[in-house]
Amino acid sequence: MKLKLQLGEYYTIEELKQANADAGYYFFSPDTMRFFDSRVGENVYRGADGWYFVTSEKFDYKTPRYYTVRKMLPGGDVVNASEFQQYRSAPGAKAAAERWAKQSIAAAEAQIEKEAE
């Protein structure tokens, strides 16, 4: 059965991977991950506009591994939330992902309050 993501719900990274594949995308496919030498963090941060998580990529064996904050949209597509390889450490990228998820929720709540006035 195909997984259809619902905003406001919590999902694991494995569920996000499945939703991406079910929607016909290849972001997490083994070939894609190998080509970009990508790794995916286990933490998922629920936002009002999608689910934030961290990936890391390494250009070649000479370069260090850098981190990118990604966002999965409800349709299963993955977009960059940060600049590609913006972060030099996993903890910095995780903190940013969590902060952006919380900010998206706060912004949505503020919009709802404004519309209720």
- Per the DSSP assignment, residues forming a β-bridge with 98 are none
| Domains: count for the chain | 1
Q: How many CB atoms lie within 10 A of CB 50?
A: 24
DSSP reduced 3-state for 8: coil
Task: Judge whether 7 lies within some domain.
Answer: no
DSSP assignment string, 73-96: -TTS-EEESS-TT-BSSHHHHHHH
Task: Judge whether 6 lies within some domain.
Answer: no
pTM: 0.90
Tens digit of each residue's pLDDT, the chain (117 residues): 777 788 888 999 999 999 999 999 999 999 999 998 999 999 999 999 999 999 999 988 888 999 999 999 999 999 999 999 999 999 999 999 999 999 988 888 787 777 777
Task: Judge whether 73 lies within some domain.
Answer: yes
